[in-house]
Amino acid sequence: MTTVLGAEFLRSGGIPAGEYEATGRADLIGVYVGASWCQPCAVFTPLLHDFYRQAREVEALFEVVFVSNDETEGEFLDHLRTMPWFATPFARRYDIIARLDVEGVPALLVLDGRTGAVVSKHGRDEIEKYGIRALDHWRELAASTATALAALPEPAYGETQQQQLYDDPASVFTVPRAPARPVGPRPMTKAQLQDCHDAFALFDIEQSGCVRAARCCCR
């Protein structure tokens, strides 16, 4: 999960917490992106509170991590004090929101706690639709995702490359680029050369200046 949410977390009051304490025991992780200024968030947060309480009564394998979209760190910390779950540091909010491709708030993205794969981007709607049964729905989706990933051929990477692939896939899967073409003055037609000659002659500029200027302004 380090590659998605990072290794540093906070609990209510801004108290630091480790990755294992925050997410290590969970097989499903709900990443809740919200803000104190957002009215729909104010409606959804109590619903998520109830869902979280019910899920924890049934099992301890579901966890929520809050990613703030508040305007200031003070607003974030005040907001976090109303929540029973962990949060990522305020400074990392934009990076995580971009990585998970969050388009608006409130959003609840459900991740596979073992792999970090996104199981669902519609956790908010699924809680409203299924209630506590959303846990079973997400586990079915997680199993399908894991089966699909397992069916992919495994590249023959060395140990270093495998770790690099886990940490930063984009650094391994690179698309070769065509060599850059040299940039130089484009050939000019006789008419363009004559236009340049006439223009510089009009202002009594030397012929050699026209040739030099033609390389940058006469196209």
- Contact between 23 and 1 (Cβ < 8 Å): yes
pLDDT one-digit tens code per residue, 124-174: 999 999 999 999 999 999 998 877 666 666 555 455 555 554 444 444 444
Sort residue 86 into left (φ over 0), alpha (ψ -120 to 50) or beta: beta
Residue 86 is classified by DSSP as E
Q: CA 113 to CA 182: how far, in whole Å?
A: 49
pLDDT one-digit tens code per residue, 4-56: 899 999 999 899 999 888 888 899 999 999 999 999 999 999 999 999 999 98
When mean pLDDT is compared across 23-37, 46-60, 112-126, 184-198, the lowest value belongs to: 184-198
Name the CATH code of domain 2-150 (choices 3.40.30.10, 3.90.700.10, 3.40.50.720, 3.90.550.10).
3.40.30.10
Extents of the domains making up the chain: 2-150, 185-219
Residue 155 is classified by DSSP as P
